[in-house]
């Protein structure tokens, strides 16, 4: 039975469409511990004499053969016993932030977390994520050989470019028994097959308790790790780590050695970008043309 242990509201003025969003845990987060916290926010809630708002949350253990895409345009299926709702009172136009706790009583596995916003008993917005919760398989960090560890600071799975590359890297490194893969970004297990989820199990276990690992909302935390880290590089604001690492940005992790995988088919490179690339011990590029442009730029 999932219990609503707390519900905290912070009011801020806004004028937006009525939306609900999960702030934490984000899709692909690796979590440890049976009791977890869910943070959600409501945006653009408008007060009216006939308006009755309620937030409903559901946390369901996903069967191994079931796939759930957090980006789907329909809410995750949920059972009545795992669903809890709270009425929300609003005065004026507001943004609301709510904090709830939930109990992962079904044990270690992949969970579908969903939050729905109802207005006058009609669904107006929802948000969802798929996370991995490890209840009882914590690995003592002192028992791990850091010489065998390799950190992957890029997404794993999810059906998009970097996620596909991340999954393929994880697969190759996991098949090599000399490597202990550590996930430092989100692992999109919801869209994986049962076989793919089994493949990432050891990497998930290795990632629990690692400072800056995927257990911190997809890699938040930062720090210098005592093993080699592979990074996704490119001129894409959401994923580019070239400039962020050296600036000390939130959530950036580095290792004792750092390897970059660069996808940026361009001839335009600034001096600062070249200087950022010099930070990495080795950089792999996506094409011979891209390599020639980098060499030409310095």
CB 256 within 8 A of CB 279: no
Among the candidates 134, 162, 193, a domain finishes at 134
The number of folded domains in the chain is 2
Domain residue limits at 20: 12-134
224: β partners: 254
Name the β-bridge partners of 63.
none
pLDDT of residue 141: 57
Question: What would the pLDDT profile of 194-237 be if each residue is shown by its tens digit?
Answer: 999 999 999 998 888 775 555 443 333 456 889 999 988 876 55
Q: Are residues 168 and 212 in the same domain?
A: yes
- What is the pTM for the complete model shown? 0.82
Check whether residue 204 and residue 101 sit in a common domain.
no
**Is the pLDDT higher at 270 or at 123?**
123
Residues 284 and 147 grouped into a single domain: yes
CB atoms within 10 A of CB 5: 12
Tell me, yes or no, whether 148 and 293 share the same domain.
yes
Distance CA 249, CA 230 (A): 17
Closest to 147 (Cα-Cα) out of 226, 208, 72: 226
Contact 58, 161 (CB under 8 A): no
**Residues 92, 148: one domain?**
no
Domain containing 234 — which CATH number?
A: 3.40.50
Distance CA 120, CA 79 (A): 22
The model's pLDDT over 105-140, given as tens digits with 9 standing for 90+, comes to: 899 999 999 999 988 888 989 999 999 999 875 555
Same-domain status, 219 and 88: no
pLDDT of residue 249: 44
The last residue of one of the domains, among 89, 119, 134, is 134
Are residues 56 and 124 both part of a single domain? yes
Tens-digit pLDDT profile for residues 1-46: 343 444 444 333 334 567 899 999 999 999 999 999 999 998 876 6
Q: Residue 219: which of 194, 185, 178, 196 has the closest Cα?
A: 185
168: pLDDT confidence band, cut at 50, 70 and 90? Answer: very high
Residues 148 and 182 in one domain: yes
Integer Rg of the chain from CA: 21
**66 three-state secondary structure:** coil
Residues 197 and 228 in one domain: yes
Omega before 106 cis (within 30°)? no
In a domain, residue 171? The reply is yes
pLDDT of residue 3: 39
Residue 37 CB: number of other CB atoms within 10 A? 13
Of residues 188 and 276, the one with the higher pLDDT is 188
Q: Are 213 and 266 found together in one domain?
A: yes
We report the CATH number of the domain holding residue 125 as: 2.60.40.10
| Mean pLDDT lowest among 2-16, 91-105, 141-155, 284-298 | 2-16
Residue 179 CB neighbour total at 10 angstroms: 18
Contacts of 27 (CB under 8 A, 6+ apart): 70, 71, 128, 129, 130, 131, 186, 188, 190
User: Of 94, 113, 134, at which residue does a domain stop?
Assistant: 134
Q: Give me the helices (H) in the chain, please.
A: 161-175, 194-207, 242-247, 271-277, 288-297
pLDDT at 156: 95
End-to-end CA distance of the chain: 60
pLDDT tens digits for range 55-80:
899 999 999 999 999 999 999 988 88
In a domain, 4, yes or no: no
- Is residue 2 in a domain? no
Confidence band, pLDDT 50/70/90 cuts, at residue 269:
confident
Closest CA to 72 of 102, 110, 109, 114: 114
Position 101 in a domain: yes
Residues 230 and 276 in one domain: yes
* Side-chain half-sphere exposure of 6, counting CA atoms within 13 A: 12
Q: 87: pLDDT confidence band, cut at 50, 70 and 90?
A: confident
CA 250 to chain centre: 14
Q: What pLDDT does 241 receive? A: 53
The answer to whether residues 130 and 155 belong to one domain is no
């Amino acid at each position: 039975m999932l219990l609503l242990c707390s519900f905290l509201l912070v009011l801020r003025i806004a004028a937006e469409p009525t939306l609900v969003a999960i702030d934490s845990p984000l899709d692909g987060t690796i979590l440890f511990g049976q009791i977890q916290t869910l943070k959600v926010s409501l945006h653009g809630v408008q007060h009216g004499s006939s308006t009755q708002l309620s937030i409903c949350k559901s946390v369901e253990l996903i069967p191994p053969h079931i796939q759930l895409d957090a980006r789907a345009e329909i809410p995750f299926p949920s059972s009545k016993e795992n669903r809890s709702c709270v009425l929300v009172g609003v005065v004026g136009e507001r943004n609301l932030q709510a904090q709830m706790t939930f109990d992962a009583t079904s044990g270690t596995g992949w969970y579908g977390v969903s939050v729905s916003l109802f207005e006058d008993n009609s669904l107006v917005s929802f948000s969802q994520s798929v996370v991995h919760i490890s209840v009882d398989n914590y690995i003592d960090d002192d028992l791990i050989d850091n010489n065998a560890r390799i950190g992957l600071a890029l997404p794993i799975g999810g059906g998009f470019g970097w996620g596909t590359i991340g999954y393929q890297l994880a697969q190759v490194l996991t098949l090599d028994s000399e490597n202990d893969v550590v996930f430092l970004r989100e692992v999109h297990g919801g869209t994986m097959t049962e076989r793919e989820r089994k493949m990432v199990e050891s990497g998930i276990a290795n990632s629990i308790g690692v400072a800056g690992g995927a257990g911190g909302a997809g890699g938040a935390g930062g720090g210098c790790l005592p093993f080699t880290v592979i990074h996704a590089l490119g001129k894409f604001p959401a994923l580019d780590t070239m400039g962020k690492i050296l600036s000390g940005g939130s959530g950036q992790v580095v290792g004792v050695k750092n390897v970059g995988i660069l996808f940026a088919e361009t001839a335009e490179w600034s001096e600062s970008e070249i200087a950022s690339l010099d930070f990495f011990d080795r950089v792999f590029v996506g094409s011979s043309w891209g390599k020639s442009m980098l060499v030409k730029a310095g």
